[in-house]
Amino acid sequence: MTTKRSPEPFAWLLFSSGGMAAAMLIPVLLLLFGIVFPLGWLSAPSHDRLAAVLTHPVTLLVLFGLCVLALFHWAHRFRYTLYDGLQLRKAAPVIAVLCYGGAAVGSVIAAFVLIRAL
Amino acid sequence: MTTADRRYHHPVSFTWWARKPSYLLFVLRELSSVFVAWFVVYLLLLVAAVSSGNESYQGFLEWSSHPLMIALNVIAFAFVLLHAVTWFGLAPKAIVLRLGSWRVPPNLILAAHYGAWLVISVAVAWVILR
Amino acid sequence: MSETDDKHAVPDMPDTTGTITMEVARFRPDRESEPSWDSYDVPLRKEWAVLDGLNHIKDQLDGTLSYRWSCRMGICGSCGMTVNGEPKLTCSTFLTDYAPGPVRVEPLANFPVIRDLVVDIEDFMAKLPTVKPWLVSGDEEPAEDSEYRQTPAEMDDYRRYSMCINCMLCYSACPVYALDPDFIGPAAIALAQRYNLDSRDEGNEDRRDVLASAEGVWACTFVGECSVACPKDVDPAGAIQRYKLTAATQAVKDLLLPRGAR
Amino acid sequence: MAAWHNVVIIGGGGAGLRAAIAIAEANPKLNVAIVSKVYPMRSHTVSAEGGAAAVAGRDDADDSFDEHAYDTVSGSDWLCDQDAVEAFVVEARRELLQLEHWGCPWSRRPDGRIAVRAFGGMKKKRTWFAADKTGFHLLHTLFQTALSYSDIVRYDEWFVTKLLVHDGRVRGVVAVELATGATETIVADAVIVCTGGCGRVFPFTTNANIKTGDGMALAYQAGAPLKDMEFVQYHPTGLPFTGILITEAARAEGGWLLNKDGYRYLQDYDLGSPTDQPTMRSMELGPRDRLSQAFVHEMEKGRTIEHEAGHVVHLDLRHLGKELIDSRLPFVRELCASYQNIDPVSELVPVRPVVHYMMGGIHTDINGATPLTGLYAAGEVACVSINGANRLGSNSLPELLVFGARAGKAAAEFVSDVPGAATGPVLAQGRDEERRLHRELAGRHGSGGERLADIRTEMQDAMEAGAGIYRDEASLIKAIDKVAELKERFARAAIDDTSRTFNTELIAMLELSGMLDVAECIVASALRREESRGAHQRTDFPGRNDEKYLAHSLIRRTPAGESRVDYLPVTITRWPPGERVYGR
Ligand SMILES: Cc1cc2nc3c(=O)[nH]c(=O)nc-3n(C[C@H](O)[C@H](O)[C@H](O)COP(=O)(O)OP(=O)(O)OC[C@H]3O[C@@H](n4cnc5c(N)ncnc54)[C@H](O)[C@@H]3O)c2cc1C
Ligand code: SF4
Ligand code: F3S
Ligand code: FES
């Protein structure tokens, strides 16, 4: 049998790395910036401090990696959720283009935003 | 040989995922990805705000403490935790580590993931709060 | 319908502690176009499996009920059915666990129903050979009068995946199989891994095209219910996850290394 | 148009699959089909637990083919054919190795060689095992290997109802497809019967629901003789109520049998004296016939335990420890937990003798050929015989491999040498059988007749009462009369189900019809053998009588429909009849 090998492994690798990065980094970041600071449990860092941390090239690189991987993680998972949850397997190609395309566009935007911060 | 197909095919219901708690949990886990994506958006907004000066940063802080925003982020946080926990639970299934002829027991792999999670979280918090 | 005829009481068995109602899905293709329910009262005995209840119905109450069974010791894999919504081996699932009842018995989900509790598993039977679940021997086959050496540790690598009794409970539990009938499915992939991980086998490459296709491991979204349903602790979900990592690593290698170098 | 194959194999268990592979290897041009009433991997071979015997590795200098042969011959109470046994012990080793090369996960020693365990009646450790799911692994290995021969055609879930015989030669079968109810004539140049045993003729058995002796009945109806049918093996350790087997391996690993006083009672029955470590051919490692008989005597002495499902003794595994039980006997632990709600690591297991295996079966020669041209048989359904009056545990799995392969090769040769014949008359016979089946389906409905299950239960009880571990003339005559009565009642029995689709009641009816024939053969053969030998114990003839009965019984159906028993001397090569000595 000569089934053509699919691009799935690469999508899956991105999905997996994204899943790992998201699991390791997002909870703490979201907890701090989404809940703790807004609720005032701790006072948010000053602009200067945060700007110093955020504009550091290493930070930007890490954040860029996180954004790209997390977006592709989303794209992959969401694509299957649409297939299965909404039984849209017939629309598979369109969904795939929309999801991965969305992640790619998102990545470009992320690059733009992050470079601007440099 | 086969007479006409008189087999009964159960239609898959549109709400199949509500049939069992485990299926529901699965769908919720998959939906966590939406909140992962939401976080990326949120993060980029934060970065953009910070890089355009203190004023817009303060604006961001204000926006983020709107009750609706907080509610959304609490939900997002719950989903992201669900993601993390299920993700780590899955890791020992994919990874089989062998040191010499010793196979690292799955529980150890699991524990290592949680350990790393803790270390990374503390480090990130330290960098931000220092 | 109920047990009315005393003549049919089963002899020389301990006292019944009462009865339990079994609601059984019926489908008679020559008479009806979709399934219906029949209800029977059967004795509730502590040793009785759900299968014993069905046998009581067939022998004493209604000979037209059809279902498969054979070994009644959880090893032949023929008696899988849906009991109160969960896929189970009916020969090792006990009525008392469902007391006071009723117990609902349906055919395994995700398969076409042939009749009553009998489902059509030809789809699996057709897919199984495509993953080449047999030992592909390499150049190092041992002499005819001796064995391959294989240490207990090497055997442990695949032992778990060799325990599959083809009972189809995992297929019945997997929503992806329900939605995408082309999915090769948990047991077939676990069986492929059973050979892939066997130190005597050289067939990894031969199985790759099918396993690493879109209908192979990539269709699985790790619902994990297959491993929950599996009565023999095969852990097909784990087998699939592991192969995803293997296949992804291979794909990257293929990309980096020139063709012939593999 | 009817289907046609060079060779049709009935049965997809161990014997049938091995035969199919043998044919595919012997002559890939032949067109082979397996017809099986269940999917092959559901066959009863899947239930075998303990292991498969063969002299192990070359480097095990301490065992030899001769010793395996001697254990088998003495275990059989000298009723086996020694030429067959000599061939068997040599080929058993080859077959088990072949299985290893096909991937069977035999348990291993630390250095990677195959491990062997002790077994009842064997003087040396030579039982290969795959934990305690040997049959399961063996069957799945064969099934999966057979999948690699894509030319082997399979009729899964087809039930064979008749052998077609024309001009003194078997020419095919008629079979019903369960899923559709379609009846089909399948023409063949040779047929191999591999349908397994008939434990379901008895009420309390380790055997699966499918073990209804169909093949024996098919051959008998077609005029082939059945051999040594009086020899029915009771396994000493079945779980009460279900009859689920607790493998002999449990005793081989060191388990003890205790009576109600906690006493290892086997020492009272000339089986040696108790030792802490298991001793070969002694005590709990004695042969099955002697152990089951000892149970009956204990019960008569009032030293067994009363259990809600009858009298039992205790199997004690507690001293083996959790680790050994989990590595060597995991399935035993699983079965005890599911079906008896006990943990053998800390509790005693109640057990009692249970019908387990048929030594007798379709009479074949050393190549699996029956006296009926074109008909072959192998596995439990056949009687070559290497088992004689009592099979040794773990000899059956290698037997079905050795003689499955032999029957396959012999059939392949036969069909290559002998030209096919006209099919016209064969098809006509097939059409007759199809009409008969349609009549059965339509004619028995609503006739107000008896339920099949009641007739079946009465037959089983009559067999247990009349032809159990101990029998005598009076009990056997009673059983014969009862079976005759049941046959008459069967003719008027009713069925509820007239559907064509997956009609399991029709199948149960066809099975019961065959079981009644088989039951008749068992009791008739048992009545004629006026001696006690191995598993056949006559209280009215307590001794072995080599002068008259060092011979196989052959029962066949006369054209008038009666049964007739003849005798055929056993073949003796090197081991003249002697005393069976265990524990001394
Ligand atoms: C619980 C248990 C444990 C055992 N443990 C051991 C052990 O440890 N070691 C050992 O050596 N032996 C053991 N035995 C004995 C051994 O397992 C059997 O003798 C052997 O497996 C029989 O194999 P077979 O191929 O002859 O038949 P089976 O495996 O019984 O196969 C019979 C086949 O015939 C088919 N068939 C039957 N009738 C029809 C029909 N009318 N039409 C179409 N198809 C039909 C069935 O579908 C099936 O495929 C054990 C037996 C039992 C019951
Ligand atoms: S993997 Fe488990 S559930 Fe699936 S068929 Fe095999 S034994 Fe059954
Ligand atoms: S349930 Fe199905 S989706 Fe994958 S993990 Fe199991 S095969
Ligand atoms: S009857 Fe064999 S697994 Fe249940």
Average pLDDT rounded to a whole number, residues A4-12: 81
pLDDT-derived band of residue D429, with 50, 70 and 90 as boundaries?
very high
Residue A26 domain flag: no
Number of C-alpha atoms within 13 angstroms, CB side, residue D522? 38
CATH number at residue C128: 1.10.1060.10
Residue A39 domain flag: no
pLDDT-derived band of residue B108, with 50, 70 and 90 as boundaries?
very high
Same domain, C112 and C130: no
Cβ atoms of residues D261 and D388 within 8 Å = no
Average pLDDT rounded to a whole number, residues D230-258: 96
pLDDT confidence of residue C2: 39
Of C52, C88, C91, the residue with max ligand 4 atoms within 8 A of its CB, to mutate for a pocket test, comes to C91
At D523-542, the pLDDT tens digits run: 999 999 999 999 999 999 99
Beta carbon of C226 within 6 Å of any ligand 3 atom: yes
Same domain, C104 and C79: yes
D501 to chain B: closest CA residue: B6
Bridge partners, D117 (sequence order): D127
User: How remote is the C-alpha of A16 from its chain's centroid?
Assistant: 11
Chosen domain end from C119, C154, C174: C119
Average pLDDT rounded to a whole number, residues D76-95: 97
- CA–CA min distance B95, chain C (Å): 6
Average pLDDT rounded to a whole number, residues D435-449: 82
Average pLDDT rounded to a whole number, residues C155-169: 96
Residue D285 DSSP one-character state = G
Lowest mean pLDDT among A90-94, C121-125, C223-227: A90-94
* CA pair distance D323, D278, nearest whole angstrom: 18
At D254-295, the pLDDT tens digits run: 999 999 999 999 999 999 999 989 999 999 999 999 999 999
Q: Between A and C, how many residue pairs show a Cβ–Cβ distance under 8 A?
A: 46
Which residue range is the domain that position A75 belongs to?
A: 9-20+48-116
Which residue range is the domain that position C158 belongs to?
A: 122-261
The candidate with the shortest Cα–Cα distance to D358, out of D127, D221, D522, D502, is D522
Please answer yes or no on whether C252 and A13 come within 8 Å at the CB atom.
yes
pLDDT, chain B, mean: 90
Contacts of B1 in chain D (CB under 8 A): 177, 180, 182, 184
* CA pair distance C28, D497, nearest whole angstrom: 11
CATH number at residue C74: 3.10.20.30
Average pLDDT rounded to a whole number, residues C242-250: 93
Residue D339 DSSP one-character state = H
Average pLDDT rounded to a whole number, residues B64-92: 95
* CA pair distance D490, D497, nearest whole angstrom: 16
Cβ atoms of residues B113 and B88 within 8 Å = yes
pLDDT, chain C, mean: 90
Cβ atoms of residues D65 and D184 within 8 Å = no
- Any residues with CB less than 8 A from the CB of C257 and at least 6 apart, and which? none
- CA–CA min distance B95, chain A (Å): 12
Q: Provide the number of structural domains found in chain C.
A: 2
Please answer yes or no on whether A5 and C221 come within 8 Å at the CB atom.
no
* CA pair distance C94, C54, nearest whole angstrom: 12
Please answer yes or no on whether C209 and A2 come within 8 Å at the CB atom.
yes
Residue A70 domain flag: yes
| Phi-psi label, residue D124: left if phi above 0, alpha if psi -120 to 50, beta otherwise | beta
Give the H or E element holding residue D564.
Answer: strand D563-569
Lowest mean pLDDT among B105-109, C143-147, D104-108, D479-483: C143-147
At B1-29, the pLDDT tens digits run: 344 568 999 888 888 888 889 999 999 99
Q: Atom 1, ligand 4: which residue's CA is nearest?
A: C72
pLDDT-derived band of residue A89, with 50, 70 and 90 as boundaries?
confident
Same domain, C148 and C254: yes
Same domain, C169 and C248: yes
Cβ atoms of residues C204 and C158 within 8 Å = no
pLDDT-derived band of residue D59, with 50, 70 and 90 as boundaries?
low
Cβ atoms of residues D172 and D31 within 8 Å = no
Q: Which chains does chain C touch, 3 or more C-beta pairs < 8 A?
A: A, B, D
Write out the residues of chain C at the interface with chain A, using a CB-CB cutoff of 8 A: 130, 175-176, 179-180, 209-210, 212-214, 218, 221, 244, 247-248, 250-252, 254
pLDDT confidence of residue D485: 97
- Any residues with CB less than 8 A from the CB of C256 and at least 6 apart, and which? none
Nearest-CB residue to C64 (from D43, D140, D505)? D505
Give the H or E element holding residue C81.
Answer: strand C80-83
Please answer yes or no on whether C218 and A6 come within 8 Å at the CB atom.
yes
Lowest mean pLDDT among A30-39, B90-99, C69-78: B90-99
pLDDT confidence of residue A1: 36
Q: Atom 7, ligand 3: which residue's CA is nearest?
A: C186
Residue A84 domain flag: yes
Domains annotated on chain B, with CATH: 3-82 (1.20.1300.10), 95-130 (no CATH)
Whether residue A5 has pLDDT greater than 70:
no
Cβ atoms of residues D140 and D103 within 8 Å = no
Nearest-CB residue to C135 (from D103, D338, D500)? D103
* CA pair distance D278, D8, nearest whole angstrom: 45
* CA pair distance C38, C26, nearest whole angstrom: 7
Residue A55 domain flag: yes
User: What b/e readout covers C37-74, taking b as 16+ CB neighbours within 10 angstroms?
Assistant: ebebbbbbbebbbbbbbbbbbbbbbbbbbbbbbbbbbb
Please answer yes or no on whether C210 and A16 come within 8 Å at the CB atom.
no
Residue A25 domain flag: no
Residue D467 DSSP one-character state = H
Q: Provide the number of structural domains found in chain A.
A: 1
Beta carbon of C174 within 6 Å of any ligand 3 atom: yes
The burial class, CB within 10 Å (0-12 / 13-18 / 19+), for D194 is buried
**Gap from CA of C166 to ligand 2 centroid (Å):** 5
Same domain, C137 and C113: no
Residue C57 DSSP one-character state = I
Is residue C109 helix, strand or coil? Answer: coil
Same domain, C133 and C240: yes
Please answer yes or no on whether A3 and C247 come within 8 Å at the CB atom.
no
Residue B8 DSSP one-character state = B
Average pLDDT rounded to a whole number, residues C11-24: 72
CB atoms < 10 A from the CB of C13, how many? 14
**Gap from CA of C228 to ligand 3 centroid (Å):** 10
Best C161, C170, C222, C226 member to test B by mutation, with max B CBs in 10 Å, is C222
Same domain, C177 and C78: no
Same domain, C71 and C139: no
Chosen domain end from C119, C152, C180: C119
pLDDT confidence of residue D421: 73
Chosen domain end from C67, C86, C119: C119
Query: Which residue blocks in chain C are alpha helix, DSSP H?
Result: 50-56, 122-127, 152-159, 169-173, 175-179, 186-196, 204-211, 225-229, 236-256
Using only C-alpha atoms, what is the Rg of chain C? 22
pLDDT confidence of residue D442: 81
Average pLDDT rounded to a whole number, residues B66-70: 96
pLDDT, chain D, mean: 95
pLDDT confidence of residue D61: 65
- Helix, strand, coil abundance in chain C, percent, nearest 5: 40, 15, 45
Same domain, C76 and C141: no
Same domain, C195 and C248: yes
Residue A35 domain flag: no
ipTM surpassing 0.85: yes
Cβ atoms of residues D491 and D458 within 8 Å = no
| Phi-psi label, residue D363: left if phi above 0, alpha if psi -120 to 50, beta otherwise | beta
Whether residue B66 has pLDDT greater than 60:
yes
Same domain, C149 and C201: yes
Of D44, D205, D207, D218, the residue with max ligand 1 atoms within 8 A of its CB, to mutate for a pocket test, comes to D44
In this structure, what are the phi and psi dihedrals at residue D544, rounded to the nearest 5 degrees?
Answer: -80, 140
Residue A31 domain flag: no
Whether residue C13 has pLDDT greater than 50:
no
**Gap from CA of C163 to ligand 2 centroid (Å):** 8
pLDDT-derived band of residue C17, with 50, 70 and 90 as boundaries?
low
Give the H or E element holding residue D4.
Answer: strand D3-10
Average pLDDT rounded to a whole number, residues D553-568: 94
